[in-house]
Structure 1
Amino acid sequence: MSAAASRTIALPHCRVSYAEYGAQDGMPVLYCHGVPGTHLEGEAFDEAGIAAGVRVIAVDRPGMAQSSLPAGERVADWVTTVAALADRLELTRFGVIGVSGGGPYALAIAAGLPDRVSGVALVSAPAPVEVQAEAADLDPVARRRRRGLNVLRRVPFLVHPMAVEMSMVIRRHKGVAGLVAQMAAVDRDRVEGDAELTAKLEANLRGSFEQGSRGFATDIRLVFTRDWGFQLAQVSAPVQIWHGDADGNVPADDARRLAAALPHSSTHIVAGAGHLLFVDRAADILSSLGTGGV
């Protein structure tokens, strides 16, 4: 993976930072990072993008890296900013990738801009609360995370102190290692065996708290405690759903439930893969997106 300098654009209603990877004159694909996360995640698609002739544009959401707050009240409100950015970059038609907590935003873009989005790839993405499995039906790691999110839905004012605590953990020495220790064994092994990947994850997580904890808190609130502001049935573009069956952060069952609710989808469950699926399967994800037809 290679580094790319971020850029910042001042739109009428906000400031947005982003970075580009892959083929600079290639077919455009917008990348929606995880929660927490920044444009740095887009580096995972750099080499694959060059090989496939795809221009990957990784955009920071409100409060992440240099993108400004405040955000909207729903996930769907992000579409207005994306449309304005696409206009400034002269993107008439593009694909969208959403990884983990970026998945709902990718779907919102497709639902809100049906004439501009050619296809969507979801990787390790959560389903909306109304179509998720009950916590009792999950494995112990996923069950613990799901129950924690259920508490936040019932008591949403806890999101802010939780985000502040997360910010403090990230900024401490080895704070990122502490977060990785809570992931599934396959992800822990993947990170511990790759010093470069560990450094990239640390930079990404620290960048997500550059402005403090409000951006992370906003993402958690919008993705996990509120209605997203659109229906999955509104997504008319084809959706490729990628998920590892060993994912301890977002259960693979979410992928199946997303597939059942989306009008046009294909599901790719990868045996033995965890939440960092996008790091090792970037080329396959881009290929499934049908980027040649963007």
Structure 2
Amino acid sequence: MKGCFGWLLALALSLGTALADVKVQNDFDYMGPAMQRWVDGNGKTLHYLDEGPRNGIPVVLVSGHGTSGRALALTDFLRSLRQSLGLRFIALERNGFGETAFDPSGDYASYAAEVEALLAHLGVQRFSLVAISGGGPYSAAIASRLPTRLRSVHLAAAISQNAGVAAPSPSCALSDQQIIDNYLAARYDVPSVWWDLGPNTAVNRVPGFLDEAADEGARFFYGKGSTGFDLQPLVHELKLYCSQPVADVSAVAAPVFIYHGEADTTVVPAHAAFWRSHYANVVATRLYPGEGHDVQYRHWGQILADLAYGGRRTLLCWHGQSRLVETREAGPLLKRGATLDICAWQRTGP
């Protein structure tokens, strides 16, 4: 009996010690960027996110075609780096997407005006600008409207315009209903289909990315409820790509960074060449041989580094450690076996 009591006492003491070692959280865990609402001076409700320290480096993110204002969540696989670099991301949802009401008269310029109003509301003066894919022309409108307030411009696999750059999409010659029937319906019925980047995409190495992308697609489609689902905002934006030229950015003196996959068939490399000639101060053109329309994710770490360091640091994996090295040191290290961005990209699967 004494032996049994001693054993129970020892067990209780060991459990007490183990429980004492448990660190119980005081705050809620992060569940992704939070969307906010603000009614502008015209009475329109703007849906946006403002993620990061209030005293951080402000970054206006203009995400791709068919994304909601919460698309920053697709880059949360490098949230720790984003936080370490002190970056504050601001993203305004586009016309008709997600929860935002659709205005048939909306265009690149009206979106830029809304961004300007939002920045005034948030008290942001100088900022950097990041455009992903279909966000390219919108970013140019912002740059044209607010050239002296830019810290830097970053164009990741960003589309520009049809005229003088690439052959127009076959959809440009179709009616709105034909675009819906022949182009959009089959691709947008299931969000995961729209976000299927193929079996060889680098993002397959990021655990949970495709699930997050499907959730993002669902938010984009059904942010206004199942009865609010409407393909017209997508048609409207596609028609803007077909018809509207990119804004004049000759007044922009801020440094410009371009990131593009040389094998991109969605936004062909001719768009990168256009941006290189359109902006006067392109300080880095990062072309990635053999890579397609996922460089905005595969090299997101370098984009973050460029935002924070203005091109003076290169993100590498060297001897199993992710490092931000002086850019002048990157070339020799790459020749000796270093790889671009964080080491997790070198894994063959999730």
TM range (shorter): 0.7 to 0.9
Residue type of the alignment partner of 2:35? S
Give yes or no for contact 1:15–1:66 (8 Å, CA) kept in 2: no
Contact map agreement 1:153 1:225 (CA 8 A) in 2: yes
- % of aligned pairs identical? 22
Question: 2:188, 2:238 → 1: CA distance?
Answer: 19
Q: Aligned partner of 1:289: which letter? A: L
CA 1:7–1:52 in 2, change beyond 3 Å: closer, same or farther?
same
After the TM superposition, which residues 143-222 of structure 1 pair with which residues of structure 2 at under 5 Å, given as runs? 149=169, 151-155=170-174, 157-158=175-176, 160-163=177-180, 168-169=185-186, 172=189, 175-180=190-195, 183=197, 186-187=200-201, 190-194=202-206, 196-210=208-222, 211=228, 212-222=230-240
The offset of 1:15, in angstroms, is 1.5
Structure with greater contact order relative to length (CA < 8 Å, sep ≥ 6): 1
Instruction: State the Cα deviation string for residues 16-46 of structure 1 (Å, max 9, x = none).
Output: 1112334453111011010011223212163
Indicate the SS of the match to 1:39. coil
Deviation at 1:130, TM superposition (A): 2.1
Contact kept? 1:23, 1:55, Cα under 8 Å: yes
Tell me if the contact between 1:119 and 1:290 (Cα under 8 Å) persists in the aligned partners: no
Determine if contact 1:74/1:229 at 8 Å carries over to the other structure.
no
In the other structure, the counterpart of 1:30 is: 60
More helix by share: 1
CA distance in 2 between counterparts of 1:164 and 1:120 reads: 36
Mean Cα deviation higher: 82-91 or 13-22:
13-22
Q: Please show how residues 201-280 of structure 1 align to structure 2 within 5 Å.
A: 201-210=213-222, 211=228, 212-222=230-240, 224-228=241-245, 230-265=247-282, 266-280=284-298
Shift of 1:2: 5.4
Q: TM-score, normalised by structure 1?
A: 0.81
How many residues are treated as equivalent by the alignment?
A: 271
2:23 alignment counterpart: none
CA RMSD after TM alignment: 2.7
TM (norm. structure 2) is 0.69
Structure 1 CA distance for aligned equivalents of residues 203 and 180 of structure 2: 23
Residue 56 of structure 1 deviates from its aligned partner by 0.7
1:118 pairs with 151, 161, 164, which one?
Answer: 151
Contact map agreement 1:256 1:267 (CA 8 A) in 2: no
Which of 262, 281, 286 pairs up with 2:299?
Answer: 281
Q: In 2, are the aligned partners of 1:111 and 1:236 still within 8 Å (CA)? A: no
**For 1:279 and 1:36, how far apart are their aligned partners in 2?**
16
- Structure 2: unaligned runs, 5 residues or longer: 1-29, 223-227, 312-350
